[in-house]
């Protein structure tokens, strides 16, 4: 019988969001003996309810925030009037498991350099590059915890550029598919160092869940066999098994309650019938993703907190970052059949570090990456007919193509932000988010650098046709980072290094919004490690009655 709590019960913790961080937070708090209610906007679906429906999941917001009900506006800068676009700028999954349900599961650790780039680079004009308040060494044990308790396959130490691993991955890497073989061939020919990609996908039976069946549809899809290590299949069931945790799906938290003493008292939310409730709690942990977390704080403004909750710094919603990158598609002589097998099997970190010799800031990694046929078929390389016999022949070439995707840095800028649209409301009548974003010039230069490198690698691999990417100004993303940044200085950051908000003692935040820098793509491993670390400290605070 699932544990349930009444709204009148004062539970120890409410965790807002059930994704990568929320699931871990719930498990760690519940296993420590605390009563926990997890609030999730979206429905709870079992594995058999997901399907290989590319139209639904990749084109029509099947499990992601839907622009029809959760609209957003976008503008380039504060001088423009933000407008509602055809698609939302910021995308995340709206289902129990959050974006860990539909991610590609490509799990990179950060490198030591990520935590102190400001000290190395100094100030960058037009950006606010900062050091993290923690180091790689402090996070390393929690990376291991993710790898062993959630499940990651890979070959630790295979990359000459990786920072130290104190443990191996618990599972060997997934089988290398043709795109991985070709990346390795091209990169090694150029003297580079590709390595098997770490993935949060089981390569063997692990913790009671099966190995990957190589269905080929990871990114954008939920795993139908529970081999992809999404929180809905991993830590959430373990949280519930404690008897201390209720996952309350289709429960949309729109405001955090605060009393006169400045303490969080619980959350206001709508149930699936759009009936409003208030759940009492001793503390609140928001893990709602890098867009919804700042929006919730801003929508929780009160006369005592007119600029939003925990926003004395003014940093809530600011420093929005994605992962800017660039790459190339390439066609080969023989079929690769990229629709089979996990989406990523081989990667490259030779250009991870930013290098002053390039003349701009920026670094990143490459992955050999596949995509579904429906998404692929809608665009053509430059020079290919968009209809007629030539287009038909292009469609027939689908199995001969691969992508070499570059994932890179985005510099934090104070002006890139999420705030509340002054007019637009969502389907529940709650102010919608307004996104203001313009890439830093270095991000654009680095994106072109990645495109050029991708072309070189694919050429060295023997591609018969290469379709380079284009550098466009970003209008949104799926890695939603930096909007409630972590830092020691309460005037310039929202949370401290333990994820406690500087302003509200019993309010914690942990998700992509916590990251002070953008990383180089694939931030989920780090978000999960941060969640384990934050939960460890929150449990210690609770034990010492310091919440």
Compute the residue count for the chain. Answer: 547
**DSSP reduced 3-state for 211:** coil
Q: Kindly indicate which of the ranges 2-10, 33-41, 339-347, 536-544 contains the residues binding another protein, using the contact rule CB under 8 A.
A: 339-347
209 belongs to the binding site for another protein (CB under 8 A):
no
User: What b/e sequence results for 430-465 when a residue is b if at least 16 CB atoms lie within 10 Å of its CB, and e otherwise?
Assistant: bbbbbbbbebbebbbbbbbbbbebbbbbbebbebee
Indicate the residue among 113 and 155 with the shorter CB distance to another protein: 155
HEC secondary structure over 269-298: EECCCCCEEEEEEEEEEECCCCCHHHHHHH
Answer yes or no whether residue 429 interacts with another protein by CB under 8 A. no
**Which residue in the set 116, 263, 277, 340 belongs to the binding site for another protein (CB under 8 A)?**
340
Q: Site for another protein (CB under 8 A): which residue of 190, 241, 395, 543?
A: 395
Residues 6+ apart with CB under 8 A from 114: 132, 136, 517, 519, 520
In this complex, which beta carbon is closest to another protein, that of residue 227 or of residue 298? 227
Q: Which residues, in sequence order, are bridge partners of residue 318?
A: 417
Which of 346, 411 has the CB closer to another protein? 346
User: Taking the complex as a whole, how short is the minimal distance between the CB of residue 181 and another protein, in angstroms?
Assistant: 5
Q: Under the criterion CB under 8 A, does residue 98 sit at the interface with another protein? A: no
- Based on the shown chain and the rule CB under 8 A, indicate whether residue 205 belongs to the binding site for another protein: no
Spatial separation of the C-alpha atoms in residues 12 and 28, rounded to whole Å: 13
Question: What would the two tokens of residue 308 be?
Answer: 């939003």
| Conformational region of residue 492, where left means phi above 0, alpha means psi within -120 to 50, and beta covers everything else | alpha
Among 306, 359, 388, 429, binds another protein (CB under 8 A): 388
Query: How far is 540 from 546, CA to CA, in rounded Å?
Result: 8
Residue 357 phi, psi (nearest 5): -65, -20
Strands 72-75 and 431-436: parallel
User: Considering just the CA atoms, what is the radius of gyration of the chain in Å?
Assistant: 22
CB of 222 to another protein, least distance (A): 13
**Member of 136, 142, 332, 360 binding another protein (CB under 8 A):** 332
Q: Rule CB under 8 A: say whether 82 interacts with another protein.
A: yes
Binds another protein by CB under 8 A, chosen from 115, 136, 195, 437 = 195
134 binds another protein (CB under 8 A): no
The DSSP symbol for 249 reads -
The reply to whether 144 sits near another protein by the rule CB under 8 A is no
**Which residue has 């914690």 as its token pair?**
508
Tell me if 214 contacts another protein by CB under 8 A: yes
Residues 234-293 that bind another protein (CB under 8 A): none
**What CA dihedral angle connects 533, 365, 174 and 136, to 10 degrees?**
-20
Tell me if 383 contacts another protein by CB under 8 A.
Answer: no
Of residues 482-541, which lie at the interface with another protein (CB under 8 A)? none
> Quick one: which H or E segment has residue 367?
strand 364-369
137 belongs to the binding site for another protein (CB under 8 A): no
Q: How far is the CB of 82 from another protein (least distance, A)?
A: 7
The region of 1-9, 114-122, 350-358, 420-428 touching another protein under the rule CB under 8 A is 420-428
Is the Cβ of residue 82 or residue 457 nearer to another protein in the bound state?
82
Segment 345 to 374, residues that bind another protein, using CB under 8 A? 373-374
Residue span binding another protein (CB under 8 A) among the ranges 154-162, 229-237, 320-328, 410-418: 154-162
Q: In this chain, which of 134, 189, 301, 424 binds another protein, going by CB under 8 A?
A: 424
The DSSP secondary-structure symbol of 358 reads G
Beta bridge mates, 246: 37
Compute CA distances 7 → 164, 269, 476, whole Å. 46, 11, 36
Among 129, 336, 418, 484, binds another protein (CB under 8 A): 336
Residue 398 lies near another protein (rule: CB under 8 A): yes
Q: Which listed range, 232-240, 419-427, 443-451, 525-533, lies at the site for another protein (CB under 8 A)?
A: 419-427
Restricted to residues 20-59, the positions that interact with another protein (CB under 8 A) are 43, 51-56, 59
Binding mask 289-328 toward another protein (x if CB under 8 A, else -) reads: ----------------------------------------
By C-beta, is 88 or 513 nearer to another protein? Answer: 88
CA distance 35 to 237: 15
Tokens 């800017």 identify what position? 324
Q: How far apart are the C-alpha atoms of 129 and 323, rounded to whole Å? A: 15
CA 56 to chain centre: 21
Exposed, middle or buried: residue 121 (CB in 10 Å: 0-12, 13-18, 19+)? middle
Instruction: Give the binding range for another protein (CB under 8 A) out of 26-34, 286-294, 337-345, 488-496.
Output: 337-345
Asked if 302 and 472 touch (Cβ cutoff 8 Å), the reply is no
Residue (44 or 56) nearer to another protein, CB: 56
**Subset of residues 442 to 461 that bind another protein, contact rule: CB under 8 A:** none
**Considering the complex, what minimum distance in angstroms separates the CB of residue 40 from another protein?**
14
Q: What is the DSSP letter of 83?
A: B
Shortest distance, CB of residue 233 to another protein, whole angstroms? 18
Q: State which residue, 106 or 518, has the beta carbon closest to another protein.
A: 106
Question: In this chain, which of 249, 280, 302, 399 binds another protein, going by CB under 8 A?
Answer: 399
Q: Is 157 in the site for another protein (CB under 8 A)?
A: yes
Q: Which two tokens stand for residue 191?
A: 């003297």
């Amino acid at each position: 019988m699932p544990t349930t709590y009444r709204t009148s019960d004062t539970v120890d913790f409410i965790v807002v969001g059930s994704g990568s961080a929320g699931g871990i937070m719930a498990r760690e708090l519940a296993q420590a003996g605390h009563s926990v209610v997890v609030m999730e906007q979206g429905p709870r679906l079992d594995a058999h309810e997901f399907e290989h429906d590319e139209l639904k999941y990749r084109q029509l917001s099947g499990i992601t925030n839907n622009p029809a009900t959760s609209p957003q506006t976008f503008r380039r800068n504060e001088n423009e009037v933000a407008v509602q676009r055809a698609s939302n700028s910021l995308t995340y999954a709206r289902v129990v498991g959050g974006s860990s349900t539909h991610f590609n599961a490509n799990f990179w650790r950060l490198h030591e350099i990520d935590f102190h780039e400001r000290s190395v680079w100094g100030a960058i004009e037009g950006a606010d590059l900062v050091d993290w308040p923690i180091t790689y060494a402090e996070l390393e044990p929690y990376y291991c915890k993710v790898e062993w308790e959630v499940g990651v396959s890979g070959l630790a130490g295979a990359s000459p550029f990786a920072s130290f691993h104190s443990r191996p991955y618990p599972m060997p890497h997934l089988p290398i598919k043709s795109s991985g073989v070709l990346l390795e061939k091209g990169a090694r020919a150029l003297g580079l160092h590709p390595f098997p990609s770490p993935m949060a996908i089981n390569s063997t039976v692990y913790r009671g869940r099966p190995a990957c069946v190589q269905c080929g549809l990871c990114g954008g899809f939920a795993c139908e066999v529970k081999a992809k290590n999404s929180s809905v299949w991993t830590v959430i069931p373990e949280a519930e098994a404690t008897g201390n945790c209720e996952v309350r799906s289709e429960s949309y938290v729109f405001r955090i309650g605060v009393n006169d003493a400045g303490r969080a008292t619980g959350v206001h939310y709508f149930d699936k019938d759009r009936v409003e409730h208030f759940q009492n709690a001793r503390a609140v942990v928001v893990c709602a993703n890098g867009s919804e977390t700042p929006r919730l704080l801003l929508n929780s403004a009160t006369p005592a907190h007119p600029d939003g909750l925990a926003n004395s710094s003014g940093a809530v919603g600011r420093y929005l970052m994605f992962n800017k990158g660039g790459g190339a598609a390439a066609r080969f002589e023989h079929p690769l059949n990229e629709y089979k097998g996990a989406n990523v099997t081989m990667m490259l970190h030779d250009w991870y570090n930013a290098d002053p010799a390039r003349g701009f800031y920026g670094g990143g990694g490459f992955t050999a990456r596949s995509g579904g046929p429906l998404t692929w078929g809608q665009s053509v390389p430059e020079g290919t007919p968009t209809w007629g016999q030539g287009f038909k022949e292009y469609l027939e070439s689908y199995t001969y193509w691969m992508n070499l995707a570059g994932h890179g840095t985005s510099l934090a800028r104070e002006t890139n932000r999420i705030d509340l649209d002054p007019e637009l409301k969502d389907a529940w009548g709650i102010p919608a988010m307004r996104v203001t974003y313009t890439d830093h010039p270095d991000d654009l230069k680095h994106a072109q650098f990645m495109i050029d490198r991708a072309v070189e690698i694919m050429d060295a691999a023997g591609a018969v046709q290469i379709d380079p990417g284009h550098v466009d100004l970003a209008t949104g993303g799926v890695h939603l980072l930096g909007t409630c940044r972590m830092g020691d200085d309460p005037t310039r950051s929202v949370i401290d290094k333990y994820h406690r908000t500087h302003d509200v003692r019993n309010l914690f935040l942990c998700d992509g919004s916590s990251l002070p820098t953008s990383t180089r793509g694939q931030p989920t491993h780090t978000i999960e490690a941060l969640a384990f670390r934050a939960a460890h400290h929150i449990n210690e605070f609770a034990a010492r009655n310091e919440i």
